[in-house]
Amino acid sequence: MVRRSMSECFRVTGGAPLRGTVRPAGNKNAALPIVAATLLADSPSEILNVPRIRDVEALLALLSDLGAETTWTDEHTLRIDPSDVEPKRLDPELCSSIRASVLLAGPLLARFGQVILPPPGGDVIGRRRLDTHFLALEQLGAKVDIGADYQLQAKALEGADIFLDEPSVTATENALMAAVLAQGRTVLQNAASEPHVQDLARALAVMGAHIEGIGTNMLTVEGGRALQGGRLEVGPDHVEIGSFIGLAAVTNGEIEIEDTRPDDLRSILQTFERLGVRPRLDGSRLIVDAPQERRIRPDLGGHIPKIEDGPWPAFPADLTSIAVVVATQCEGMILVFEKMFESRLFFVDKLVGFGARLLLCDPHRVVISGPTQLQGGVVESPDIRAGMAMLLAALAAEGESIIHNIGQIDRGYERIDERLRALGAAVERVERKWMR
């Protein structure tokens, strides 16, 4: 089991360069929908390269509560047998612990014709609307009633031509999972195309689905085929890879990242290059040499450059927090424009407490001027990605830092303290009562 960390914190001593080799964990945002997709079959599936993180454990608890048999056959391989799953109201407490509980809506609706979904939880990074999910499922034939729970029913799902009102990753995944069992052709336009969406589509294809357009924003599904369990695989987490690039950069370290998927890294590497951080690819290995220039490249004419996120293949929103911290250690000035979530940048006040020079212009934009020698402090992790950004800042800072609420980090990063220690980081996991 993943360790519960509500009463734990990280004690970090910064200033040491990280050096060594690391292998990225499986993509959290691919593992979760693939786990949910196993419910579409009535025979077992095996999933390879699954990260051992809190969000995965919470989703597995939901599947077990529905009657699925879930077994870790080795450290990162899951066997899921959905044969005995029966439809019932999903557990409200478990649903409130993770955003990914919403991913069960499509599979349960498609297989059983009904689902009762209590409100999902997840990171508090701004409003995260569910409208796109339900509008897509309605077009496939579902009736949606919204009250204290979300109740969906359908006598039979039928293929449809659907234009998503936003390229939501999880809405695309829910619609895709429902469409593979719907009768006839479904066309999903304005679909998300992130690497984790592609991993889900490839997993569904292994199970017997017919999907065209994988990797594009238009997916065509020939539905109605019975799906069988299969041997499915989760790809490397490109967001974790970006985080390790940032860790090497802010500590003046040298890290080799194994088993990457270079096609998933193009926008990430382009953005780090703007900050004067230039990793190099050697096949599937990504090497961050030391030292990096860490000089922000101005736009033509000497204008202040900008980093902005967006739907794939643009720079991932999940890496904006990392980019902000890296920018504090780079020479020059840059604007970071977070377009996707209106509260994600509110963590930057904690960086000000570390001594960073930055200005939060509004909920979406922050200007950073660097480099700044950060000083250790006491902070709390508000969400998964900001929590990792706090770790970067603490490792770049002089002195000792304490990071509370590390359960947020554990939701998305597997054994991050152990893996950082293997690279030379001074990171300890301690009980909060010990800190008193």
Cα separation of the two ends of the chain:
28
User: 242 and 219 in contact (C-beta within 8 Å)?
Assistant: no
Fold for 28-233, please state it: UDP-n-acetylglucosamine1-carboxyvinyl-transferase; Chain (3.65.10)
What is the model's pLDDT at position 72? 98
Side-chain half-sphere exposure of 198, counting CA atoms within 13 A: 18
- Phi/psi region, residue 324 (left: phi>0; alpha: psi -120 to 50; beta: rest), is alpha
Torsion of CA 59, 311, 348, 364, to 10 degrees: -130
Fold for 8-25+236-435, please state it: UDP-n-acetylglucosamine1-carboxyvinyl-transferase; Chain (3.65.10)
What is the model's pLDDT at position 128? 55
123 catalytically annotated: yes
Which of the following is catalytic: 123, 199, 318, 410? 123
Separation of alpha carbons 392 and 88, rounded Å: 42
What is the model's pLDDT at position 123? 44
Q: pLDDT per position in the chain (436 positions), as tens? A: 444 445 799 999 999 999 999 999 999 999 999 999 999 998 999 999 999 999 999 999 999 999 999 999 999 999 999 999 998 999 999 998 888 899 999 999 999 999 999 988 754 433 457 899 999 999 999 999 988 899 999 999 999 999 999 999 999 999 999 999 999 999 999 999 999 999 999 999 999 999 999 999 999 999 999 999 999 999 999 999 999 999 999 999 999 999 999 999 999 999 999 999 999 999 999 999 999 999 999 999 999 999 999 999 999 999 999 999 999 999 999 999 998 877 789 899 999 999 999 999 998 999 999 999 999 999 999 889 999 999 999 999 999 999 999 999 999 999 999 999 999 999 999 987 544 4
Separation of alpha carbons 121 and 383, rounded Å: 12
Q: Beta-carbon neighbour count of residue 38 at 10 Å?
A: 28
Phi, psi for residue 120 in degrees, rounded to 5:
-75, 160
Separation of alpha carbons 164 and 159, rounded Å: 14
The token duo for 159 is 């293929």
Amino acid at 259: D
What is the model's pLDDT at position 343? 75
The token duo for 6 is 């509500």
Delimiting residues of CATH 3.65.10.10 domain(s) in the chain: 8-25+236-435, 28-233
Nearest to 377 by CA among 351, 359, 347, 407: 351
pTM, to two decimals: 0.93
Angle between helices 169-179 and 131-139 (to 10 degrees): 20
Separation of alpha carbons 23 and 282, rounded Å: 15
Nearest to 117 by CA among 127, 130, 126: 130
What three-state secondary structure class fits 92? helix
What is the model's pLDDT at position 4? 47
Q: Where do we find the tokens 């077992």?
A: 44
User: 180 and 110 in contact (C-beta within 8 Å)?
Assistant: yes
